[in-house]
Amino acid sequence: MTFFMVTATFPPDKATGVGKVFTSGKLTELPSFVKRINIFVVPEGNIKTYAIYECEDEKAHEGYKAIAKRYTGYYELEGWKHKIEHLLTPNEALPMIGLG
C-alpha cells in the first residue's frame, strides 16, 4: 500500500469556513481506490490538520492527483496552506540506508 499525509494549516478565524467547505458535499469525491484512514486536528495557534490516506501501489500517482484535486476546494479560504507527503513504512525506508 502507498500512504499519503496531507498537512493543512489555517488561521483560527477561518475554522468555520473550513468546516463549511468540509461538510458542504462540494469537494471532489475521492475514487474508490483511495481510502481516508483518519483526520487529526491540532488546535494550537494556527489550526493544523493531518489527514492520512492509503491506496494501492499501482494507483499511487492517480491517488496523489485525486487527493490534490480534492484539496483545491479550500483554496478560496485566506490563509489556507497544505502539503501532500508520500509516507514510507520502516520496511520501505530501511533499505534506503542499507538496512533491509
Domain that holds residue 87: 2-97
CB 78 within 8 A of CB 12: no
User: Residue 42 is part of a domain; what is its CATH number?
Assistant: 3.30.70.100
Strands (E), the chain: 2-10, 34-43, 47-55, 81-87
The residues, any chain, with a CB within 8 Å of residue 67's CB and separated by 6 or more, are 4, 6, 30, 34, 53, 84
Q: How many structural domains are present in the chain?
A: 1
Tens digit of pLDDT at every position of the chain (100 positions): 999 999 999 999 999 999 999 999 999 999 999 999 999 999 989 999 999 999 999 999 999 999 999 999 999 999 999 999 999 999 999 999 999 7
